[in-house]
Structure 1
Amino acid sequence: MTRIIKNTTTEAQHDWPDDVFIQGGTHGVAFGGPDGAYQTAFFEAFPGDTFLRGEGKTIAEAEESCWGQYQRFIVCDGSGEHGPYERREYRNGAGFCTKCGTWMSNVFEPLPEQPRRRPSLLNRLFVDQDPEAVTEVLEAVAHADELPTP
């Protein structure tokens, strides 16, 4: 069955399961790249307790990237089970499967915040509701056409 990618008029190229929410767009703004914000086509899928995102010059390229991540996610090491996990930079309970590399939410107990560590832009925006973060995001979105593309 053909599925339309949410927020687009584009048909998905792959047979995504019905219980996996999919969305995408041609002018996504990504924050936190090595050179700051950038603009990209994107495709996102939400299977289980994870979030997969593919990026590319087109939605089709982005979906292909995301599909590859999804295939690694569902196969992992072949056992059907994810884990063990590693935290990397996350302190909020999220971690990465050491076998397939997939980011997963709620796999650890959250750690206390470090008082000297500046939270990420997304935490400042959605958790702290920091007015400076809101301004930073709105300015980037308003000038999205001027952002570099990967």
Structure 2
Amino acid sequence: MARLIKNTRTEAQHDWPDDVFIQGGERGVVVGGPGGAYQTAFFEAFPGGTFLRGEGKTLAEAEEKCWKQYQTFTACDGTGEPHGPFERRQYRNGAGFCTRCGTWMSKVFEPLPEDPDRKRSLAERVFVDQDSEAIIEALDTVANAASLPHAPSGE
């Protein structure tokens, strides 16, 4: 029997392992993206130590993109059980990217002190700072989701 995708009534197309949490939706809203907010179907999988996300015009398309990421993740032959070495890129919180497969991984570095000059994202302003202006901006975006453009390039 196929697994149901959490938060939907849709069965997964792929045989996701039981220990990988999966969720998705047809009407996701991305706030604070580089080109502004947009709506998209999405599928997320949470194998150990990471989070994978596919976006698309449909939930099926989003799952397919996420499944490809999962295949890359599981095939990695890195040196760090099984991933690594890692590079930090923009992250200071201990997360990094496997240099072999490109997967984002949590808790692979010691965290660095915050950069006081870095502009905080909308998500940080909402969930960490509890900034009332940011909360209103996020709520307005979600309330008007139907008027948002779809993901850039149909993703």
Per the shorter chain, which TM-score range? over 0.9
Q: Distance in 2 between matches of 1:108 and 1:130?
A: 29
* Counterpart for residue 10 of structure 1: 10
Per-residue deviation, 1:119:
1.5
Structure 2 unpaired stretches of 5+: none
The range that moved more, 98-107 or 132-141, is 132-141
Q: Please tell me the residue identity of whatever aligns with 2:71.
A: Q
**Match of residue 119 from structure 2:** 118
Number of equivalenced pairs: 150
- Greater CA deviation, 47-56 or 131-140? 131-140
Q: List structure 1 runs of 4+ shifted beyond 3 angstroms.
A: none
Unmatched runs of 5 consecutive residues or more in structure 1: none
Deviations 1:12-55 (A, max 9, x none): 00000011110000110112333111000000000001010000
Instruction: Give the percent of matched residue pairs that are identical in Structure 1 and Structure 2.
Output: 73
| Partner-residue secondary structure (3-state), 1:82 | coil
- The one-letter code sitting in structure 1 at the alignment partner of 2:11 is E
Q: CA deviation at 1:95?
A: 0.7
Amino acid at match of 1:42: F
Alpha-carbon separation, structure 1, partners of 2:85 and 2:16: 26
TM (normalized to structure 2)? 0.91
If the length of structure 1 is used for normalisation, what is the TM-score? 0.94
- Per-residue deviation, 1:78: 6.9
Cα drift, residue 96 of structure 1: 0.6
SS at the partner of 1:33? coil
- How far 1:68 moved relative to its partner? 0.3
**Aligned equivalents of 1:142 and 1:113: distance in 2?**
32
2:135 is matched with 134
Give the partner amino acid of 2:46.
Answer: F
